[in-house]
């Protein structure tokens, strides 16, 4: 007898009426009306079953620190960095772990079971690194956590960061990070990319770099990152996060840049909520929104994923770690409202993110890990529209979170109605 059988599911690729058989933590069979028995059966009832959501860009060390030491009044990236610099002087391993664990509970409840988190290496004691390495191991049964060694104050700008980054990697941090646009000059930014990519190449690691998180159309570090990816043979192992300046770049220049990025197999991680919050702060009107060219990148063959980035911290004062909220905003800002485009946006918080992280066994095919989410929605379009309840969150074949269906009951003129905001054609 199998461990779990999910019946009558709709899948993100459009298949309907599908059963999913699970045994020993793996999917063993997928098909209509499977004549199988299991210890537990869940009737999806024509609802969407998806692989878990993936947050491709987050900061677990700063999350849930809102208001400490004070609120970011300007709403700018630079004030956020200043506030974080003040706050992190009082960090403890216990405090970082407690906040990160709470955030991960939120993530599980929302169906996010993989997070790539940047961790600041600017503290010479590397307390945040120690805390998140411990968290990564403790939470492994529930969430895949990857850590990026991130020199928040600059690789060259803050002189201890070069040694601290190497120490963090030696401790077990997974990925090399950077922030070239925060170096003192464009030249030092370019030099930091070269140095950091060479470290990754020497160690056989991936790169995930905060890149061009700026409204300056001349902030073009993604070009340099693409060049060194090509030079060092890092194809498919490099992600450029944010790329906000591409929003403001000359169109001709971008037309040259996009095929180079596709050739180097650069991954791009946009962060819609934070990008449109931090960028454009120096504009009057027209006011730039700052999110990179998601649609154009996808059309060029570049893998684009979305991240939450920040949540209740010095940079972003809102959020509940709902990747569908992130995708919902990304869809609007990128103006991706066509049927195929909506599918692409849904992929940006699922399968595209899995490609960025290099997750093994991700998906809904036989042999994949039995990690999935059952949503109170019929398909990706409805999921993005409603940001619905995660009815079941399943990890390695075990239900680890449940949420009751959300239904409103109305009493109108002695008649009772139930409203779930379902649009009939979305499930037909």
* C-alpha distances in Å from residue 224, one per residue of 193, 230, 412: 7, 10, 63
Q: Are residues 241 and 156 in the same domain?
A: yes
Residue 407 has pLDDT above 50, yes or no: yes
Please tell me whether residues 336 and 401 are part of one structural domain: no
Q: What sign results for the dihedral spanned by CA atoms 9, 10, 16, 20?
A: negative
Q: Count how many Cα atoms sit within 13 Å of the Cα of residue 139 in the half-sphere of its side chain.
A: 26
Residues 277 and 376 grouped into a single domain: no
- For the beta sheet containing 38-43, the strands, ordered from the edge strand earlier in sequence to the opposite edge, are 26-31, 18-23, 2-9, 38-43
Query: For the chain, how many residues are written?
Result: 428
Mean pLDDT of 256-285: 97
Domain count, the chain: 2
Over residues 207-221, the pLDDT tens digits come to 999 999 999 999 999
Residue 351 shares a structural domain with residue 382: no
Q: What pLDDT does 52 receive?
A: 98
Mean pLDDT of the chain: 96
Whether 385 and 258 map to the same domain: the answer is no
Q: Output the CA–CA distances (angstroms, integers) from residue 107 to 90, 147, 353, 394, in the order listed.
A: 26, 16, 15, 13
Count CB-CB contacts under 10 A for residue 159: 11
pLDDT in tens, 163-184: 999 999 999 999 999 999 999 9
Distance CA 90, CA 97 (A): 14
Position with higher pLDDT, 413 vs 92: 92
350 lies in the same domain as 395: no
Q: How confident is the model at residue 141 (pLDDT cuts 50, 70, 90)?
A: very high
**In whole angstroms, what separates CA 261 from the centre of its chain?**
20
Q: What pLDDT is attached to residue 256?
A: 97
- The 10s digit of each residue's pLDDT in 23-69 is 999 999 999 999 999 999 999 999 999 999 999 999 999 999 999 99
CATH code for the domain of 72 = 3.20.20.140
Q: Which residues of 318-353 are buried (b: 16+ CB within 10 A; e: fewer)?
A: ebebbbbbbbbbbbbbbebeeeebbbbbbbbbbbbb
Q: Mind telling me the catalytic residues?
A: 213
pLDDT of residue 427 exceeding 60: no
Q: Residue 243 region, left (φ>0) first, then alpha (ψ -120 to 50), else beta? A: left
| Mean pLDDT computed over 315-320 | 96
What pLDDT digit, counting tens, does each position of 203-253 carry? 999 999 999 999 999 999 999 999 999 999 999 999 999 999 999 999 999
Say which CATH number the domain at 47 has. Answer: 2.30.40.10
Structural domain boundaries enclosing 170: 53-357
Residue 309's CB is within 10 A of a number of other CB atoms, namely: 30
Task: Please tell me whether residues 62 and 180 are part of one structural domain.
Answer: yes
Q: Is the pLDDT of residue 423 over 90?
A: no
Two tokens, residue 330: 């990304």
Of the candidate ranges 75-89, 313-327, 348-362, 391-405, the one whose mean pLDDT is the lowest:
75-89
367: tokens are 């042999």
Sheet holding 175-178, edge to edge: 53-58, 112-120, 144-150, 175-178, 206-211, 238-242, 267-270, 303-306
Under DSSP, the state recorded for 52 is P
Bridge partners of 117? 58, 147
Query: How do strand 390-395 and strand 372-375 relate by DSSP bridges?
Result: antiparallel
Per-residue pLDDT of 186-198, as tens digits, reads 999 999 999 999 9
* 31 and 88, same domain (yes or no): no
Same domain flag for 172 and 123: yes
Concatenated DSSP letters of 316-375? -------HHHHHHHHHHHHT--SHHHHHHHHHHTTHHHHHHHT-TT-SSSTTSB--EEEE
Instruction: Determine the pLDDT at residue 428.
Output: 41
* Domain end (from 316, 336, 357): 357
Q: In the prediction, which pLDDT does 425 show?
A: 64
Q: Are residues 368 and 283 part of one domain?
A: no
Q: Are residues 323 and 395 in the same domain?
A: no
Q: What is the pLDDT of residues 150-160, one digit of tens each?
A: 999 999 999 99
Are 202 and 341 within one domain? yes
- Please say which residue of 357, 381, 408 terminates a domain: 357
Cα separation, 402 vs 413, in Å, equals 34
CA 413 – CA 371 distance, rounded (Å): 45
Judge contact between 85 and 61, C-beta under 8 A.
Answer: no
Q: Please answer whether residues 291 and 333 qualify as being in contact, where contact means their C-beta atoms are separated by less than 8 angstroms.
A: yes
Asked if 1 and 40 count as a contact pair (C-beta separation under 8 A), the reply is: no
Q: Given 357, 378, 404, which residue is the final one in a domain?
A: 357
pLDDT score of 426: 56
């Amino acid at each position: 007898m199998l461990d779990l059988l999910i019946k009558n599911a709709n899948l993100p690729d459009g298949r309907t009426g599908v059963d999913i058989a699970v045994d020993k933590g793996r999917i063993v069979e997928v098909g209509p009306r499977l004549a199988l028995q299991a210890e537990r059966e869940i009737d999806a009832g024509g609802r969407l079953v998806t692989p878990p959501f993936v947050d491709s860009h987050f900061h677990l060390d700063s999350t849930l620190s809102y208001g400490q030491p004070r609120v970011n009044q300007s709403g700018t990236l630079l004030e956020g960095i200043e506030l974080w610099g003040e706050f992190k002087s009082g960090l403890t391993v216990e405090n970082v772990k407690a906040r990160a664990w709470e955030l991960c509970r939120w993530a599980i409840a929302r169906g996010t079971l993989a997070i790539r988190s940047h961790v600041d290496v600017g503290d010479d004691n590397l307390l945040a690194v120690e805390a998140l390495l411990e968290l990564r191991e403790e939470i492994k049964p529930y969430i895949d956590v990857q850590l990026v060694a991130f020199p928040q104050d600059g690789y060259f700008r803050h002189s201890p960061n070069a040694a601290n980054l190497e120490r963090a990697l030696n401790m077990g941090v997974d990925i090399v990070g950077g922030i070239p646009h925060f170096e003192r000059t464009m030249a030092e930014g370019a030099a930091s990319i070269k140095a950091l990519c060479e470290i990754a190449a020497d160690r056989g690691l991936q790169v995930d770099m905060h890149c061009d998180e700026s409204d300056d159309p001349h902030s073009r570090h993604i070009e340099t990152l693409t060049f060194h990816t090509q030079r060092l043979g890092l194809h498919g192992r490099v992600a450029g996060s944010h790329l906000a300046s591409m929003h403001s770049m000359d169109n001709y220049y971008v037309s040259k840049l996009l095929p180079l990025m596709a050739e180097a197999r650069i991954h791009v991680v946009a962060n819609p909520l934070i990008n449109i919050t931090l960028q454009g702060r120096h504009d009057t009107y027209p006011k730039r929104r700052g999110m990179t060219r998601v649609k154009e990148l996808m059309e060029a063959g570049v893998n684009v994923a979305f991240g939450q980035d920040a949540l209740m911290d010095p940079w972003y004062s809102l959020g509940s770690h709902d990747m569908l909220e992130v995708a919902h905003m990304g869809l609007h800002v990128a103006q991706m409202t066509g049927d195929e485009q909506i599918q692409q946006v849904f992929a940006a918080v699922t399968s595209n993110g899995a490609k960025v992280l290099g997750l093994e066994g991700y998906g809904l095919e036989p042999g994949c890990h039995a990690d999935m989410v059952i949503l109170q929605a019929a398909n990706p379009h409805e999921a993005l529209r409603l940001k619905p309840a995660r009815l079941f969150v399943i990890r390695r074949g075990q239900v680890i979170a449940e949420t009751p269906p959300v239904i409103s009951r109305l009493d109108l003129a002695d008649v009772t109605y139930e409203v779930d905001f379902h649009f009939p054609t979305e499930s037909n």
